[in-house]
Amino acid sequence: MARTMNRVGIDERALETLAAGYRGEIVRLDDPSYEEHRQVWNGSIDRHPAVIARCAGVADVIAAVRFGRETGLRTAVRGGGHSFPGQSVCDDGLVIDLSLMRGIRVDPARRTVRVQAGVLLGELDRETQQFGMAVPAGIVTHTGVAGLTLGGGIGWLQRKLGLTIDQLLSVDVVTADGEFVSASAEENADLFWGLRGGGGNFGIATDFEFRLNPVGPTILGGPIGWPMEKSGDVLRFYRDWIKDAPDELMTLVVHRTAPPVPFIPSELHGTKVVMVAACWAGDLDAGEKFLKPLREYSSPAFDACGPKPFVALQGMFDPSFPHGRWYYFRAANLTELSDGVVDTIAEHAAKMKSPLTAFPLWQMGGAIARVGEDDTAYTGRAVEWNININAATEGPEGFEVERDWVRSFWSALEPWHTSVYVNFLMDEGEDRIRQAYGAAKYDRLKALKKKYDPDNFFRLNQNIPPG
């Protein structure tokens, strides 16, 4: 029988095979929901896939992978859609969208949780905090568990409980052959190693199992802020104060324009501020004692750090990073907060133009550094600081100016760069990906890729070509 193609060149018979028995939803260009489902978090990404296969379960994922193989369509995989460079959507290809797969099951007796690949961080917290427990993950609740976990996963609990992958027990995966495999320390251990930091290179993760740890539900957290002209002094004080921090404490230093929120005095709204945002996940009195010198330093302009539900802290940055704005980011791991680094940060922070731009400096270390560098694909266990220079504008207006600001700021910090966290990369090319893993680990990952995806079917990611 002659095969017919639709207007973007899709094999109609293959589409019919995909649709047969499909439980989810297959969205095409002329479907009313197409516009909604092609959008990703970063509004500067504007791509038009030919087909979006919204999977309802593992059988749909297998069917979608086989469809992608058979048709030869470029294939993107979407979890939460938060890839900074928009790697979970492509032009004229197939998007395997996992966002319908939102199941979460806490097992309180075993202290584990099973999480499907479309779950967002806030949904996971909602279920686990019901039992007073948590999985360490990221700082914005609408980020996807899947992409975040596969790259490592850093966040408020990282110094106490490690990376998200440090609590990962097993992953179910659909490989490039459309086969279903499970990976854990006992089963397909090589794959399990690669999935913990190697991103989406080895297959589609459909289900994650995590260990749970008691957290909160009340923690001590929130921001303490000063006018941005004090940035250099605050960073110098902070750098000395933080040296003795126990693992219960994790901090971010954020430079930004003060939003019109009630805890910031109205005269500061719209002005530039520097703030130290803290999460103390331990004994609250001990936390108050440790934080006291910071809150007494140089008369902060605002102090919203206090006891609050862990989920409230988790949602604190949500309004600052909504879907649809135009974002451009560059990141680097830094060796130290030397005077050179502090001065460079203070100088460039003052030059940000967009009132929507906000960039965090992450305090790393603690439990992350107690896992061996070669135990997982994630690289940079000994890193002390990570800077994520984020630019944001409402749309195209002013975007280029802000992007140039990011680039020049990032370049000025180059003397202190060590490596980079793979989940904070844009489309920066193979050398940067090799830098993220280091040469030896990169070669090991290439060999693993050759075993699990020799044709590089999963390549719309921070790609590790088979080798």
User: Max alpha carbon distance in the chain (Å)?
Assistant: 79
77 binds ligand FAD (CB under 6 A): yes
Reported for 139-143, long-range contacts at CB under 8 A and 24+ positions apart, including other chains, are 139/252, 139/314, 139/316, 139/317, 140/82, 140/317, 140/318, 140/321, 141/314, 141/315, 141/318, 142/41, 142/80, 142/82, 142/318, 142/323, 143/80, 143/82
254 binds ligand FAD (CB under 6 A): no
Q: Considering only 70-78, 251-259, 295-303, 403-411, which stretch makes contact with ligand FAD by CB under 6 A? A: 70-78
When the beta carbons of 41 and 409 are compared against ligand FAD, the nearer one is 41
Q: How far is CA 77 from CA 111, 176, 452, in A?
A: 30, 12, 16
When the beta carbons of 344 and 388 are compared against ligand FAD, the nearer one is 388
Burial of 32 from C-beta contacts in 10 A (0-12 / 13-18 / 19+)? exposed
321 binds ligand FAD (CB under 6 A): yes
Q: Considering only 143-151, 242-250, 297-305, 308-316, which stretch makes contact with ligand FAD by CB under 6 A? A: 143-151
386 binds ligand FAD (CB under 6 A): no
- Distance between CA 115 and CA 414 in Å, rounded? 38
**At its nearest, how many Å lie between ligand FAD and the CB of residue 332?**
15
Contact 136, 162 (CB under 8 A): yes
155 binds ligand FAD (CB under 6 A): yes
Q: Considering only 64-72, 80-88, 230-238, 292-300, which stretch makes contact with ligand FAD by CB under 6 A? A: 80-88
When the beta carbons of 253 and 268 are compared against ligand FAD, the nearer one is 253
Bridge-based pairing of strands 385-393 and 326-334 is antiparallel
Minimal CB distance residue for ligand FAD: 147
Considering only residues 50, 55, 64, 150, which one is a binding residue for ligand FAD as defined by CB under 6 A?
Answer: 150
452 binds ligand FAD (CB under 6 A): no
**At its nearest, how many Å lie between ligand FAD and the CB of residue 153?**
5
**At its nearest, how many Å lie between ligand FAD and the CB of residue 378?**
10
78 binds ligand FAD (CB under 6 A): yes
Per-residue three-class SS string for 422-443:
HHHCCCCCHHHHHHHHCHHHHH
Q: Considering only 9-17, 144-152, 282-290, 436-444, which stretch makes contact with ligand FAD by CB under 6 A? A: 144-152
Task: Spell out the residues 6+ positions from residue 30 whose beta carbon is closer than 8 angstroms to its own.
Answer: none
Question: Of 238, 219, 241, 224, whose CA–CA distance to 160 is shortest?
Answer: 219
Q: Considering only 64-72, 73-81, 235-243, 379-387, which stretch makes contact with ligand FAD by CB under 6 A? A: 73-81
Considering only residues 68, 80, 136, 194, which one is a binding residue for ligand FAD as defined by CB under 6 A?
Answer: 80
